[in-house]
Amino acid sequence: QVQLVESGGGLVQAGGSLRLSCAASGRTFFERAMGWFRQAPEKEREFVAGVSAGGAGIVYADSVKGRFTISRDNGKNTIYLQMNSLKPEDTAVYYCAIRSNFIVASVKDNDYDYWGQGTQVTVSS
C-alpha cells in the first residue's frame, strides 16, 4: 500500500507562485513514475505534469508548459510542482498520483494506481 500526502496549496493572486509537495510512503518510491493532475469545479480531472522514476523523463500539459516545473527528490520520497505565473484558470484541486509498476510517466489518469487526497489551489484575478 502506498500513501500520498499533498501540501502547499492556497490562495494566490494572478501572476503569483506556489510550490506543491507530495510525500509518498513506501520503499520503492524511486522505482515508480509519478504525476500531478487537477480538477476544477464541474470539469473532468486533467493531466498537469509527470515525471519518470529516475527524474529524467518529464512531460507537461500544453496549458502549463513554461510556467510549471515538476521535480522529484527520491531521497525524500517527495515530488514537487513549482507553479509560476499562475492564472485564474489554474484554480483547481491538485492531486499527485503514482504508478505501481512503471517507471515512465503517463498522461492518462487511469494509468495511476494510488492518489493523494488533493490540495486546493485558488488563483484570484
What distance in Å separates the CA atoms of residue 39 and residue 28, rounded to the nearest whole number?
Answer: 28
Residue 29, burial from CB neighbour count under 10 angstroms (0-12, 13-18, 19+): buried
The confidence score (pLDDT) of residue 1 equals 79
Query: Among candidates 50, 60, 66, which has minimal Cα distance to 102?
Result: 50
What distance in Å separates the CA atoms of residue 68 and residue 27, rounded to the nearest whole number?
Answer: 28
What distance in Å separates the CA atoms of residue 98 and residue 3, rounded to the nearest whole number?
Answer: 10
Give the pLDDT confidence of 72-87 residue by residue, as tens digits. Answer: 999 999 999 999 999 9
pLDDT band at 26 (very low <50, low <70, confident <90, very high): confident
Is a pLDDT exceeding 90 seen at residue 27?
A: no
Give the pLDDT confidence of 33-43 residue by residue, as tens digits. Answer: 999 999 999 99
The confidence score (pLDDT) of residue 100 equals 85
